[in-house]
Chain A
């Protein structure tokens, strides 16, 4: 596909998108305070409309309004990671816009225009790919729009285009003194044929926004309560739905009695859908009381009835047998046979809920022509397809308005579109007679599955008589996120789900004989990607085991890593920077200890040094984390720092707080009192250092997460001489504990 064909002009848009706009226009008129209007029209129609005072589409990503605002249509969900600001920065840079005129809003679901180029033909956000896959695309979109504005000015002023300059949103011709804003030129510019072939892109040496801390576009709205989330969407006549799901994964409704639920004032209807029984009411409170009054008999015959202890016991038994190969270097068995010493360790990781602050929710408005959905939508075209499937409609009849998500960490990107399908099924069950707002309660969220899978790792290293690691075997046991889904076809190769072994199968350390194996297990517990995915467990297992080897062979953990990473300059770069800034090797006061870990994830590199303070009673606290990151050319250093701070906090939460457990198939946690998460008093001081780079930018939403748990465990190990082989770490670290 050529770049030119990726950036389509409005006239080339499929009819479906235009229909989507027309559906949306109705809702835009409802005064929702939401930006849902979208201007996909043939170019002539658009020019006419624009002349009448509506915005002009320069291309699929850039809209310029008469008031001189430039709106970037983001194909990516803004869930906190700063993508709305980052993507707008690329466009503004190439456009030579003034930062103050920039806006961003969610693009509609349209795989043809807005596919994540890292995902192929799917529009979605994940794997820290937003910046990486948009970089070239948005630079070209911005540069093309700039060229069109310059051509428009040249035509209007009858001067050569080459004599026109653009700076901070003003188009000027020095010799004649003529000036125009983007807003003044946009209508004419939108009618100009974009330049054929490659438009020249700005020399990075001339960047004025990229690499600077331009302010986040959403900072104000998120500091005064006006930012709009799915929970805030209100449509006339809208009903609130709460769904009672089965207490066991895989159970189904056998029968139910809604008499008492329907007697609750405000309850309007009770309907059964594939996933349970939904109560629809005039407000949340009535829906909640109605749901509590439901009497449901469940069919548990196909349900998962094991507890997590039993599942783990099965994993441990499985780990004694070889798994499928994910990596094979050298002759591992021969190396072990001649090793002077063999070390072995097992590591355990619990199921983890994502627990974003905004529990899952969406608003669905269904009529005979189509359906319109408002959601913090992370998988737009997957959700579009699944919603269409429920309704027997075409995907283009499903209009998705992507608005802010109150966090996600992966939870809103489900291959099965769980919460979207529920909302659509409920709307269908009442024949679309009212818009439906589906809300998950926190209990629904914690008990609702789609967890980071539980994993069991077994690591074995062979050490020769000089203390060198000559053999490495890593066996991983756990569920695959994608097996059994449509994603299996392109994400599972030779039985290996890449997301189960990432961080282990690509271990960068120079060890001549290495074998990584995977046992993919099956349970009834639904699982999902959780911020940084495979590296949430592989980084801990490999980095803690390496420190155990360092201790056993009496080597400094940093020195050992340096020795094993000579061929990995970007790993070394972050490792050395973090170590230097943290003062690695300098003496520490009594009770204070340091640990280090490094991990590549999603093509970004992060090293972290954790400083832990141990009290005489064995209790401990992470006081400081120093991080160094290399995510290619830094677009917005302040957002990079924020994401690393956030990734560290998210990872630290799972380092010190217990995960999800099940007894007889039932989840034992329900809300933040028993599924605890990191609070402010547990947050360490964080320093983030960015490695300067001219490489193409890569992601930073996730890569800050993996190194923190092993860095903390390694700090504790160095100070206590204890080993730490499971997450969460114990709250007290004493020999007797």
Chain B
């Protein structure tokens, strides 16, 4: 039975194993590769997508669980918050290897959508599920504060 959902604003119907994780459905079946595989166990956040606006770990979310919902990936990001976050990421040169950054950005956009002025503790709490082995955390914090200013402006 096909799973139907909305991906980056477009209706999608996928007739694949409903247990297939959303990450692999999007990567292997639909061909959007911005979301990364890092652990397969909801431990690292590299696969983070938004489902109905909330950040989820797509590597551990079965396709069946998103029937009828709205999924956004890094490729489908748009709007004031997302633009502010991505601009801040470039300005602060957050990315090093860059592999985790799609997931970091998805988590940061979700945070700033809910909280326009997060403090360091709130940033740490919201971003704790996203590992960066290059440890770009100092710049992630700075970029989020900077993006928050833009969002509030």
Contact = CB atoms under 8 A, between A and B. Distances in A.
A and B together in one complex: yes
Interface of A: 79-82, 215-216, 218-229, 231-232, 234, 240, 265-266, 283-286, 288, 355-359, 404-409, 439, 441-443, 638-639, 642-643, 645-646, 648-650, 652-653, 671-673, 677-681, 683, 685-686
Contacts, number: 184
Contact of B28 (A222, A285, A407): A285
Contacts of B36: 229, 231, 357-358, 406
Nearest to B105: A223
Q: Identify the 6 closest CB pairs spanning chains A and B, nearest first.
A: A649-B135, A225-B34, A406-B99, A222-B98, A80-B97, A80-B96
B95 A283 contact: no
A409 B43 contact: no
B110 to A, nearest CB: 15
Interface of B: 16-17, 19-21, 24, 27-29, 31, 33-41, 43-44, 46, 73-75, 77, 86, 89-90, 93-102, 105, 123-125, 127-128, 130-141
A652 B134 CA distance: 12
Contact of A677 (B31, B75, B133): B133
A653 B24 CA distance: 29
Contacts of A407: 96-97, 99, 133-134
B97 A405 contact: yes
Nearest to B86: A223
8 contacts: A221-B98, A223-B89, A288-B40, A357-B36, A358-B97, A405-B97, A646-B136, A673-B43
A268 B144 CA distance: 45
Given A223-B89, A225-B35, A672 B133 contact: no
**Most chain B beta-carbon contacts within 10 A, residue among A224, A228, A653, A671:** A224
Nearest to A284: B24
B101 A240 contact: no
Given A228-B33, A681-B128, 15 more contacts: A218-B95, A219-B95, A224-B34, A224-B77, A283-B24, A284-B27, A355-B133, A357-B44, A407-B133, A407-B134, A645-B138, A653-B133, A671-B43, A673-B43, A679-B128
Contact of B137 (A222, A288, A683): A683
A223 B101 contact: yes
A239 to B, nearest CB: 11
A273 B112 CA distance: 49
B131 A677 contact: yes
Q: Is the interface of A mostly helix, strand, loop or mixed?
A: loop
Contacts of A286: 17
Contacts of B96: 80-82, 407, 642-643, 646
- Main secondary structure, interface of B, reads loop
A408 B128 CA distance: 22
A677 B93 CA distance: 22
Contact of A679 (B86, B131, B134): B131
Contact of A673 (B27, B35, B41): B41
A359 B37 contact: yes
B144 to A, nearest CB: 10
B133 A645 contact: no
B28 A284 contact: yes
A462 to B, nearest CB: 39
B135 A650 contact: yes
Contacts of A219: 89-90, 93, 95
Given A82-B96, A222-B101, A650 B133 contact: yes
Contacts of B134: 80, 357, 407, 646, 649-650
Contacts of A685: 138
Nearest to B123: A680
B99 A358 contact: yes
Nearest to A82: B96
B90 A683 contact: no
A40 B119 CA distance: 54
A226 B75 CA distance: 8
A29 to B, nearest CB: 18
B138 A224 contact: no
B124 A680 contact: yes
A234 B16 CA distance: 19
A408 B99 CA distance: 11
Contact of A357 (B94, B125, B132, B141): B132
